[in-house]
Amino acid sequence: MLSACLFVFGIAAPQAQTPSELLRARVEQLHEEGGRSVRGVRLLEPDAVSHLFQKRNFTPAWQGGGPDQILQAIRGVEQDGLDPRNYHLAAIESLRAAPADSPGRDADLQILLTDAVAALVNDVRFGKVRPSTLDRRWNMDPRAGAPPLEAFLADIAAAPSPAAAIDALKSSHFIYRGLKQALAAQRAIASGGGWPAIPAGPALKPGMRNPRIAAVRKRLAATGELATASDSEEYDDALALAVKQFQERHRLAPDGSIGKATLDAMNVTAAARIDQIRVNLERARWVLRDLSDTFVLVNLPEALATPRADVHFFALDARWGFTLHERLALVRAADAYIGAPDELASAALISGRAALISLKPTAAEVTDFLARCFDATPARPARSSTSPGS
């Protein structure tokens, strides 16, 4: 007798993928052709994102209050002259507002948050662009010898406060802090309407009466050289003192006479001053990380040789009658330089290294710099986790 066995096979419902499995699948798409974008947003540092999640075995990096911390850091870079919109701010906010059960929402959010952090790390620690891409003669590389971005990402993901960890990567140098304070002050002035333009005309000097003097008073009151504005048309002693203070601040001869150079400086708009500060903040990110509060500064256009203990640097001035040999020696010995782009490039070639600070970049330089660094998102050079700093 044959016995029959009945096997009943049930068809089990497919199990839902875990967050790690969903994240793995999404990250692996980054390696596919045309797959380096998330929901139409092109990633800035896809290799760093991929390497981080591979090392984490594709476990999510940002949970609990992590996304809020990252959004805080993104918004905060406006204080550094950077644009929060360049770090997926709108896309992240949109994804967070989407229903939690939206297909792929959490995985895509993890990738966008990680890419934003990688770009933030790069930009606040090293600068948004490499100096040599703007001028091949600018020969310093702030990324030289640095760990790969995913190493920074791992540390930030493990930190109690990701926002604080990102903030700690910013320069704490007194020059950088001063530039941030100046940026905040100029933005406050701009939001209040800025200052009036002073009409062109003959030089204004102490003791004169002229209708244009009322505009000068309003201009200087806006930036604090003059305590209060008035409609007085008299060029009195208090106004002369304020004009001299303005001239000193802008590295003009403090003679109290409002000639063409002083008038041009007064008529630079608040918006243009903001752009100049943003340019210098970017340059400061290139060079100040490894510069101590005591350093040698060569002022190339003005050239001084007085120790300035109050601001912790020495300014060396070629106008003191140095020979060519002595000037070259000073440039080679300097830790930092200020000057026009061509002068800075020459210093870089002579010294073999250079810290570039331009206290008064030209309007054309500012426009070009902002277009290439901030107002567009340039293609970023590829990095390899096996070649630090590349």
Average pLDDT, the chain: 78
Q: Supply the DSSP string of 130-144, one letter for each residue.
A: -HHHH-TT----TTT
> What is the C-alpha to C-alpha distance for residues 384 and 378, in angstroms, rounded to an integer?
19
User: Residue holding tokens 């150079």?
Assistant: 261
pLDDT at 134: 74
Helix (H, G, I), strand (E, B), or coil: what is residue 235? coil
- Higher pLDDT among residues 124 and 138, named by residue: 124
Report the DSSP beta bridge partners of residue 336. 297
> What are the backbone angles phi and psi of residue 209, rounded to the nearest 5°?
-120, 135
pLDDT range class, residue 380, cuts 50, 70, 90: very low
3-state DSSP helix/strand/coil percent for the chain, to nearest 5?
50, 5, 45
* Per-residue b or e along 197-233, where b marks 16 or more CB atoms closer than 10 Å to that residue's CB: ebeeeeebebebebebbbbbbbbbbbbebbeebeeee
- Mean pLDDT across 46-50: 94
More confident residue, 310 or 215: 215
**Extended beta strands in 311-387, E state:** 313-316, 336-338, 356-357
User: Of 70, 319, 286, 251, nearest to 175 (Cα)?
Assistant: 286
User: What is the reported pLDDT for 319?
Assistant: 41
* pLDDT at residue 86 tops 80: yes
Is residue 283 predicted with pLDDT exceeding 60?
yes
Give the C-alpha distances (Å, rounded to integers) separating 113 from 58, 102, 116, 157, 263: 14, 17, 5, 11, 47
Q: What is the pLDDT of residues 228-270, one digit of tens each?
A: 989 999 999 999 999 999 999 888 999 999 999 999 999 999 9
Which of the listed CATH numbers 1.20.120.80, 1.10.101.10, 1.20.1250.20, 1.10.287.3510 matches domain 195-266? 1.10.101.10
Q: Answer yes or no: is pLDDT of 64 > 70.
A: yes
Residue 352 has pLDDT above 50, yes or no: no
Q: Tell me the DSSP string of 298-330.
A: EETTT---EEETTTTEEEE-GGGT--HHHHHHH
Those residues whose C-beta lies under 8 Å from the C-beta of residue 327, and which sit 6 or more positions away, are 318
176-193 burial, b at 16+ Cβ within 10 Å, e below that, comes to beebbebbebbbebbeee
Cβ atoms of 112 and 30 closer than 8 Å: no
- As given in the structure block, the two tokens for residue 118 are 């990688």
* pLDDT at 18 > cutoff 50: yes
Per-residue model confidence (pLDDT) at position 265 = 94
Q: Which pLDDT band, with edges at 50, 70 and 90, does 201 fall under?
A: very high
Please give the full DSSP string across 276-295, using - where no structure is assigned: HHHHHHHHHHHHSTT--SSE
Please say if the pLDDT value at position 329 is more than 70: no
Which residues does residue 306 pair with via DSSP β-bridges, in sequence order?
315
What proportion of the chain, given as a percentage, has pLDDT over 70? 68
Is the pLDDT at 315 greater than 90? The verdict is no
What mean pLDDT is predicted for residues 110-131? 94
Per-residue confidence band for 333, with pLDDT thresholds at 50, 70 and 90: very low
Domain range summary for the chain, segments of one domain joined by +: 19-130+143-170, 175-181+272-373, 195-266
Task: Identify any residues that bridge with 66 across adjacent strands, giving them in sequence order.
Answer: none
Task: Assign 313 a pLDDT band (cuts: 50, 70, 90).
Answer: very low
Task: Tell me the pLDDT band of 11, cut-offs 50, 70 and 90.
Answer: very low
8 A C-beta contact, residue 233 and residue 209:
yes
Q: What is the pLDDT of residues 131-160, one digit of tens each?
A: 777 777 666 778 888 999 999 999 999 999
Per-residue pLDDT band for 88 (boundaries 50, 70, 90) equals very high
Identify which of 45, 63, 36 has the alpha carbon closest to the alpha carbon of residue 125: 45
Q: Which two tokens stand for residue 187?
A: 């933005």
- What is this structure's pTM? 0.76
